[in-house]
Structure 1
Amino acid sequence: MSKSLPLIAVIALGAAAPAMAQQPVESPDDSYNMVIVYGDDVCPQSTSDQIVVCARKAEQERYRIPERLRFSDSPEGQAWAQRVERLEMVGKFGTMSCTPVGAGGFTGCTQEMIANAYADKEQGSEVRFSALVNQARAERLQGVDEEARQEQERVEMIEREYMERLERERSGETPTIEAEPLPSPEG
C-alpha cells in the first residue's frame, strides 16, 4: 500500500498538469506575471497594471515530468533494473559467476572480463584523445579559414586592378609612349 502512494501522487500530478500549465508563477512583485504556455495555447493579455510574460514550450513538454524532478541521485529515483542488477551481484556464486565456489563458478569470468573492458573503454584515454584530436582539427580549420579569407582578398584586389586597367584601355586613357625614332637606312 505504501509503495502505491507515490505512484498515485505522480498520476495525480500528471492529470493536473494541463490545469497548472497556465497557472502564473508567483512573483514577489505584482507588476508582472510570468506564465508558461505549451504548443499553440494562447498567452494571456497584459493589463494596464500588470505585464504578462509568456514562456512558450513545445506541446510534448506539457505532460513530462519537470526537469528539476527528472534527475535525482536518491534511491527512490533509481530504476528497478539497476536495483536488481546490484542485488544480483550480492552473494552470487555458481553458474555464471566468477568464483571458485559452486559448480560452474568459472563460467561468468568471461562476462565479467568483457564488462570490465567496456567500463575501461568508457573511462579510457582514447576518449580524451578523440576530444584532443577534434579540438586540434577545429583550431587548424580556423587557421585555414583565415588564410582562405586573406587569399580571397588578395585575388579580389588583383581582379579589381585588372578590370580598372581594362576600363582605362577601352576608354582610351592609355598612357602615350613616345616611340623612339627609327634608325635611318643609311647606316
Structure 2
Amino acid sequence: MELDAMLRTWTATASALAVLAFATPALAQGSSSDASNGNERVNQVIVYGDDPCPASAGDEITVCARKPESERYRIPEPLRGIDRPTSEAWSNKVMAYETVGRFGTDSCSPVGAGGFTGCTQAMIQRARAERANGTDVKFGELIQKEREKRLSTIDATAADEQASVEVEERAYEARRKAQDAAAQGTTKAP
C-alpha cells in the first residue's frame, strides 16, 4: 500500500519537473529586451571599414559598432591566443589559500552539506567580472546612447507639434467667431 502511494507521488513529481523543463525555454524566449523595454527591438550589428550601418525602422533601435577593415576576417580579440605568463603572481596564490577550509552552504565546495550552493553565485560573479573587463564591443553602452539620442528629439518634435496644434486651434476659434457673428447678423436683419 505504501509503495503504491510512493510511486504515485514520484510519478506526479517527475511529470511536474518534465513540464517545467519544457516550459523554461519558452519563458526564456519571451524575456528578451522586448519585455523590459516595452515593444522596442534592438538590432546589434558590427560593421567594418566604411560599410553603411543599416537604418532603423519603426520601434527598432539599430546600434552599430564600427571596427577597422583589417579586423573583418580576423578571429575576434577575446578568442585570439593570449600568451600567459609561466609564473603566477604571489597574490593569486595567497587568494587560493584564503579559500582553504571554507566549506558548507554557499562555499562552492565538494565538502560538506550544501557546498554546491555557492557555485552558481561564483559563476555569476566571474561572468560579471569578465563582461566588465572585456575588450569586446559594449553594446549596452551603445544602446543607451541611441536611446538618449532618440529621447532628445522627442521634446523638440513635441514642441513643434504643440505649436502647430495651437495655431490650428486659434484659426478654428476665429472661424467659429466669424460664423457666430455672421449668424447673429442674419438673424437681426429682419
TM-score, normalising length: structure 2? 0.30
Larger of the two Rg values belongs to structure:
1
Q: Which has the higher contact order (CA 8 A, sep 6+)?
A: 2
Structure with greater helix percent: 2
